Amino acid sequence: MFHPFRIAASLMLLTTAGAVRLLAQDPADLAAMLQQRDFDGVIKATDNVEAGSALLRARAVALQQRGVARFFDARIKESIEDFDAYLTIHPEEDPFHWQRGIDYYYAGEYEKGVAQFERHQTVNTQDVENAVWHFLCAVRQKGGSVEAARRQFINIQQDSRVPMAEVHQLFAGTGSVEAVLAAAEGNSASGEELKNQRCYAHLYLGLYCEALGDEAGMKKHIALAANDYRMNHYMGKVAQVHAKLRGIALTPGD
């Protein structure tokens, strides 16, 4: 599955508390700025840091977290710039950086998105979401189509999350919208777990409709994922960003 905080997990670069611990030997003001989410301040303070400096750790934390924050604000170009700068510091993290792949989709850089998700597949082999975002970019890349994207659709066998098996079948052309909805509703989940399943179902149904050119269907499902079944994890935020970028009204939320 897409892990919201997988980037450089060994360094805890996306966990603010972890970042503070990581910077225990660095200037206290940088650690404090990270804790206060003053990413601009950290980036400005480390503008002239030389390669090899321990202070690059602080800069990397700030760039990655600001890139996420900018994405959540639907500032796609700026988000990509921050992710690119982060990966200049940590190029070894490129295959893990599915967040930049999602940015590429919304930036219209579909060929780059295809390549990013193909690299991610090498380190995360059983994730329906990676297959789907690869598909979405493949449909829209130059010369792309739903039929062509299905011919290269990534086969996933072991994603047990509800309703990911049905989402995979839908994009592969062997499933249905009804099956996705039934799976999201049809187990014993309740409360937040059920809401989460519905959020995922409607997010990916909305994206599927967009791939097929069904704008009305896209808007209906994205509105449900972003509002009625609003979740504040990364993919829940993706639904909200999609709504902002496609002119879908958002109700006030957390």
Q: By CB neighbour count within 10 A (0-12 exposed, 13-18 middle, 19+ buried), where does 157 fall? A: exposed
How much is the pLDDT for 1? 57
Tokens 């700068």 -> residue: 85
How much is the pLDDT for 3? 55
Among 177, 178, 167, 181, CA closest to 136: 167
Domain boundaries, the chain: 1-95, 97-152, 160-249
pTM for the model stands at 0.90
- Please, where are the H alpha helices in the chain? 16-22, 28-35, 39-45, 56-72, 76-89, 98-107, 110-121, 128-140, 146-151, 164-172, 177-185, 191-211, 215-223, 234-245
Tokens 């179902």 -> residue: 201
**Angstrom distance (rounded) from CA 124 to CA 249:** 34
Low-confidence ranges of the chain (pLDDT < 50): 4-25
Q: Which residue type sits at 142?
A: K
How much is the pLDDT for 10? 33
Whether the Cβ atoms of residue 199 and residue 226 lie closer than 8 Å to each other: no
- Residue 79 CB neighbours (<10 A): 25
